[in-house]
């Protein structure tokens, strides 16, 4: 069955051209060159503008084309697959706009939407040099003591480590509007630099970084800048609330960056293993190499499944996004860093060298991806926010409550998505997780299917084990449900286990609700039939939960076969079909790469 978000992403990818062709604007060669020179990919961003990518960041009610978050996920993933600097440098405009989408007036939304579609970069200014994740410590403030502040705010202070602070024209700025601060002491101001007196602000120099080296990571310092009163987004004092809601959306969408990076890394690992010849054999024929590749492939599909459910849940289960986003923003970046680390072992020296294998792209993607787990709420911040919700999550699981209808709709890829209603975003998930509450029903469903089709038996057995572990994890959560201040390391570990269980529940939900529609595809259907991708996904999760393995070598061998088949037929290795614009690889054995044969 056709799935629209993948179709549009395929079309966009085709428009961008073959990345292996150095003549294309958005080629791998160009991205490596820009990274070396630490130069912003301005010409590539113009291609995005030509195609209309910015329209996809603007909700339809403000004149854009953003209706389904699942669509943005796949578009940004397509960019991230080639280059994370471009995905982060351009996608940041979505982050800049999101506070307005969440809480702005209709007029603000329409005006900002028009600017974004015209190509104006927008940024989000939360972080300050001295305060990092501690948003309420922010010192960027307004001065209400000055004489003439009737028509404007007087803003002073410095935001630092801001993506597009220099290139951007508009900045959503978290500002202290009450001197004593506190959760009601901050507001979001949509500051338009073009309207400011040039003497009242200055840009801070570009900060040199380990990855995404071409991105504009800089800062901005205000000194009594006169910002019109109309720049206020939502109510005065609502800044923290707006930002925390906006972050639920952006943290979920960060999945696109991890998916794209993993697509790229897996491709490089596979090509290397196919081409490299050692001791008279190809690397891909060595059992250890096969295991690494198949494991990485299993993780890539697991992450894709989680991201699909999470991106759809933005609209079907908006009130639970505080949980969904924290799970996603924890799991995908850390899981993808692990995939890249595993593949690093496979590539050996070629993961370390620049310019020797595939233009040094592997070391670049591994470097670039490191940032995804750091910004927009780092790994620990996300686990911490789950710990804060243990009380209601444990209670919800005990009672079987949560938005299960919303979870079912997220898992059924053929179900139409309701439009996002930002008013349903909430800082607390009140009645537990619908994805978790639906786990028992998914387990029953796969058990029922296994009775008809014994091949699924081991997958159903793994699902039952997942339910047992999930029940145990919720019991562990009850022990820490009173922990709201000094969170002990053991509670972080329980939160980590919770994310793995949630991922398992999402995978099971996705498979049980969607497999009947996607098993017939000539390319990707075999991944769905007999629960193949689900089997390896559950195996990966159970092992990470400290349980015995659930899938054997044969299952991984089949997955590896699917990975190789996707590559040789020009398809993306994914749960749903998507063609890639690259030419097929020509396999001529070792000769295609190098002729070293000795192990040195």
Partner 1 sequence: MPVPTTGHTTESLTTWLAERIALYLKRQPAEIDPDVPLAEYGLDSVAALSLCGDIEDDFDLVIEPTAAWDYPTVHALAGHLVEELAAEAAKDGGA
Applying CB under 8 A, which part among 103-111, 290-298, 477-485, 581-589 lies near partner 1?
477-485
**Residue 242 beta carbon to partner 1: minimum distance, rounded to whole angstroms:** 11
**Among 127, 142, 514, 555, which residue interacts with ligand FAD (rule: CB under 6 A)?**
127
How far is Cα 125 from Cα 122, in angstroms, rounded to an integer? 10
- Under rule CB under 8 A, residue 391 binds partner 1: yes
Instruction: Assess contact for 180 and 138: CB atoms under 8 A.
Output: no
Q: How many CA atoms lie within 13 A of 521 on its CB side?
A: 21
Tell me how many residues contact ligand FAD (CB under 6 A).
21
How far is Cα 234 from Cα 384, in angstroms, rounded to an integer? 27
- Under rule CB under 6 A, residue 162 binds ligand FAD: yes
Distance between alpha carbon 24 and the CA centroid of its chain, in Å? 26
Tell me if residue 233 falls in helix, strand or coil.
Answer: strand
- Under rule CB under 8 A, residue 382 binds partner 1: no
Token pair recorded at residue 496: 């980590």
- Under rule CB under 8 A, residue 395 binds partner 1: yes
* Nearer of residues 353 and 427 to partner 1, judged by Cβ: 427
Query: DSSP letters along 271-319, please?
Result: HHHHH-EETTEEGGGSHHHHHHHHHHHHHHHHHHHHHHHHHHHHHHSGG
Show the binding pattern over residues 208-247: x = contacts partner 1 (CB under 8 A), - = does not: --------------------------------xx--x---
**Residue 184 beta carbon to partner 1: minimum distance, rounded to whole angstroms:** 5
Give the pairing of strands 170-176 and 122-125.
parallel
From the list ligand FAD, partner 1, none, partner contacted by residue 374 (C-beta under 5 to 8 A by kind):
ligand FAD
Applying CB under 8 A, which part among 65-73, 212-220, 289-297, 384-392 lies near partner 1?
384-392
**Residue 428 beta carbon to ligand FAD: minimum distance, rounded to whole angstroms:** 17
**Among 353, 405, 475, 484, which residue interacts with partner 1 (rule: CB under 8 A)?**
484
Neighbouring-strand partners of residue 219: 160, 204
Instruction: Assess contact for 295 and 343: CB atoms under 8 A.
Output: no
Instruction: Assess contact for 486 and 480: CB atoms under 8 A.
Output: no
**Residue 391 beta carbon to partner 1: minimum distance, rounded to whole angstroms:** 6
From the list partner 1, ligand FAD, none, partner contacted by residue 485 (C-beta under 5 to 8 A by kind):
partner 1
Instruction: Assess contact for 97 and 233: CB atoms under 8 A.
Output: no
Return the residues of window 418-447 that contact partner 1 according to CB under 8 A: 426-428, 430
* Nearest C-alpha neighbor of 301 from the set 548, 84, 556: 556
Query: DSSP letters along 518-578, please?
Result: HTT-TTTHHHHGGGHHHHHHHHHHHHHTTPPP-S-HHHHHHHHHHHHHHHHTTB-SSSS--
* Nearer of residues 68 and 216 to ligand FAD, judged by Cβ: 216
**Cα angle at 264 between 258 and 266, to 5 degrees?**
95
- Under rule CB under 6 A, residue 344 binds ligand FAD: no
Indicate the length of the chain as a whole number.
600
- Under rule CB under 8 A, residue 331 binds partner 1: no
Applying CB under 6 A, which part among 35-43, 157-165, 335-343, 509-517 lies near ligand FAD?
157-165
* Nearer of residues 156 and 392 to partner 1, judged by Cβ: 392
* Nearer of residues 247 and 508 to partner 1, judged by Cβ: 247
Residues that bind ligand FAD (CB under 6 A): 92, 123-127, 132-133, 161-163, 209, 217, 371, 374-376, 378, 380-381, 384
Q: List residues near partner 1 by CB under 8 A.
A: 136, 182-184, 240-241, 244, 385, 388-389, 391-392, 395, 426-428, 430, 482, 484-485
């Amino acid at each position: 069955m056709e799935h629209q978000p993948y179709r549009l992403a395929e079309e966009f990818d085709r428009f961008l051209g073959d990345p292996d062709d150095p003549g294309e604007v958005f080629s791998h060669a160009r991205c490596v060159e820009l990274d070396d020179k630490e130069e912003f990919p301005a010409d590539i961003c113009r291609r995005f503008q030509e195609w209309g990518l910015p329209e996809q960041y603007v909700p339809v009610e403000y004149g854009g084309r953003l209706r389904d978050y699942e669509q943005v996920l796949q578009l940004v993933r397509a960019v991230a697959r080639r280059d994370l600097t471009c995905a982060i440098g351009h996608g940041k405009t979505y982050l800049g706009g999101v506070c307005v989408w969440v809480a702005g007036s209709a007029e603000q939304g329409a005006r900002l939407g028009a600017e974004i579609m015209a190509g104006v970069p927008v940024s989000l200014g939360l972080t300050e040099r001295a305060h990092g994740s501690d948003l309420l410590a922010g010192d960027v403030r307004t001065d209400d003591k000055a004489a003439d502040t009737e028509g404007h705010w007087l803003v002073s202070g410095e935001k630092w480590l801001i993506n597009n602070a220099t290139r951007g024209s508009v900045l959503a700025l978290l500002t202290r509007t009450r001197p004593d601060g506190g959760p009601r002491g901050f507001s979001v101001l949509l500051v338009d630099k073009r309207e400011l007196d040039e003497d009242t602000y200055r840009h801070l120099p570009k900060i040199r970084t380990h990855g995404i080296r071409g991105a504009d990571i800089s800062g901005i310092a205000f000194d009594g800048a006169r910002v019109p009163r109309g720049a206020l987004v939502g109510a005065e004092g609502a800044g923290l609330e707006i930002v925390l809601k906006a972050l639920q959306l952006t943290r979920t969408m960060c999945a696109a960056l991890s998916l794209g990076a993993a697509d790229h890394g897996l491709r490089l690992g596979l090509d290397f293993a196919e081409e490299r010849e050692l001791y008279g054999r190809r690397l891909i024929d060595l059992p250890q190499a096969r295991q690494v590749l198949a494991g990485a492939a299993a993780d890539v599909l697991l992450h894709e499944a989680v991201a699909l459910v999470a991106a759809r849940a933005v609209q079907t289960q908006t009130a639970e996004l505080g949980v969904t986003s924290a799970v996603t923003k924890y799991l995908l970046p850390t899981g993808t860093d692990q995939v890249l680390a595993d593949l690093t072992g496979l590539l050996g020296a070629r993961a370390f060298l620049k310019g020797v294998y595939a233009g040094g792209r592997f070391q670049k993607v591994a470097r670039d991806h490191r940032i995804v787990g750091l910004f927009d709420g780092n790994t620990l911040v996300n686990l911490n926010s789950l710990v804060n919700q243990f009380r209601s999550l444990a209670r919800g699981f005990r009672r079987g409550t949560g938005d299960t209808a919303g979870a079912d709709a997220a898992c059924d890829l053929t179900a139409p998505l309701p439009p996002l209603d930002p008013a349903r975003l909430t800082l607390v998930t009140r009645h537990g997780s619908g994805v978790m509450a639906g786990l028992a029903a998914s387990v029953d469903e796969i058990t029922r299917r296994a009775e008809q089709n014994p091949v699924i038996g081991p997958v159903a057995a793994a699902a039952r084990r997942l339910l047992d572990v999930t029940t145990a994890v919720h019991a562990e959560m009850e022990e820490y449900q009173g922990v709201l201040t000094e969170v002990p390391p053991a509670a972080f570990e329980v939160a980590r286990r919770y994310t793995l269980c949630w991922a398992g529940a999402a995978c099971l939900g996705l498979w049980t609700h969607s497999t009947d529609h996607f098993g017939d595809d000539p390319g990707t259907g075999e991944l769905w039939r007999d629960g193949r991708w689900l089997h390896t996904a559950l195996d990966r999760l159970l092992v990470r939960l400290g349980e015995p393995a659930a899938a054997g070598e044969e299952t991984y061998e089949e997955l590896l076969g699917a990975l190789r088949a996707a590559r040789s037929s020009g398809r993306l290795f994914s749960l749903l079909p998507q063609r890639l614009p690259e030419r097929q690889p020509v396999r001529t054995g070792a000769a295609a790469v190098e002729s070293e044969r000795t192990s040195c």
